[in-house]
Amino acid sequence: MQHDHQTQPPPTMARTETDIAPPPSAPIQSLIAQDTSTKTHDPTLHSLALQIQHNLQYQHNWTSLHIHTHSPLTGSLLPRPLLSGLPPNRLYIHPDEQIELLKDADRARKAQKEGETGALEVKAEPEREWILPARLSEKWTLRRLAEVFDGISEVPPEKEDVDSEGKKGKVSRWRETKRVVLATVDTDSTVVYYIVQDGVVKPRQN
């Protein structure tokens, strides 16, 4: 072992400056670099939205993610680019809806034949969510949070250009308050997700 060590020069010695090729850029870096959309906001806010979009798409398997720069209600500029997307599973179930779903599941189980002992299956279709990207270093106020909520509809439209009117038929009757998923990213690119609802909404009893 000692012999091998002596024959191989230390790695730092072997490298010369010409050998160092620039490392390939990280996927998120190239994604931000390739972004050609028109910048309606501060470019850092655009790259923030892209970063969260990337995280949701590849780490949490979200689909049909869109970036919204304008309010679907008024058409005016949003305080910052927001995202909308569809999670793989339902993200939020209101406690009252949960009670209803459990009752339905219980009825479905009882309807099964005696021999089949099925588990309680709660069926909740995933719903589209609003996502508010933010950096941990930012300071927020209630006013800024309220401005975000004032600019959004209860359910995000499928695409930014499609107005929300056409989609109202699908809105669940449990979605009575506006909600966003607050995506907070730290400098080490850790992202945490919190559901923020507009108003006093009782908590889930998981």
Partner 1 sequence: MAPDTPPDQEPFPISYVAGRYLLFDPPTVAYARRRHNVIGVLIGTIPNLSQQNVFLGIPLELQPEEARVLVEQGHAYIVDDAAVHRDGFLEMSREDRLAYLRDMDEKGAEISREVVRRAKEKSEQALREKGLRPSKKINETTSTNADSSLFDADEQTGPVVKAPEKRLEPTYITPTTSYPPLSRPQPSHALGFPEVPKSFPLFRYLHGKGYFMMPGLRFGCHYSVYPGDPLRFHSHFLATGLGWDEEFDLLDIVGGGRLGTGVKKAYLIGGEEKGGKKKAEDILTLSMPSWNPALRPNKEDEKKPRVDVEPVRAFSIEWAGL
Contacting partner 1 (CB under 8 A), which of 142, 169, 187, 188? 142
**Region from 25-33, 105-113, 143-151, 161-169 binding partner 1, contact rule CB under 8 A:** 143-151
Nearest to 118 by CA among 127, 110, 128, 126: 110
Question: Does the protein bind partner 1 through residue 77 (CB under 8 A)?
Answer: no
> How far is residue 70's CA from residue 72's CA, in Å, rounded to a whole number?
6
Question: Of all helices (H) and strands (E), which one includes residue 150?
Answer: helix 142-151
* Helix 27-34 vs helix 43-59: crossing angle, to nearest 10: 130
Q: Are 126 and 90 in contact (CB under 8 A)?
A: yes
Beta bridge partners of 134: 184
Contacting partner 1 (CB under 8 A), which of 60, 70, 167, 175? 60
**Region from 6-14, 109-117, 160-168, 181-189 binding partner 1, contact rule CB under 8 A:** 181-189
91-110 footprint of partner 1 as x/- string (CB under 8 A): xx------------------
Contact set with partner 1 (CB under 8 A): 60, 91-92, 134-136, 138-143, 145-146, 149, 181-182, 184, 192-206
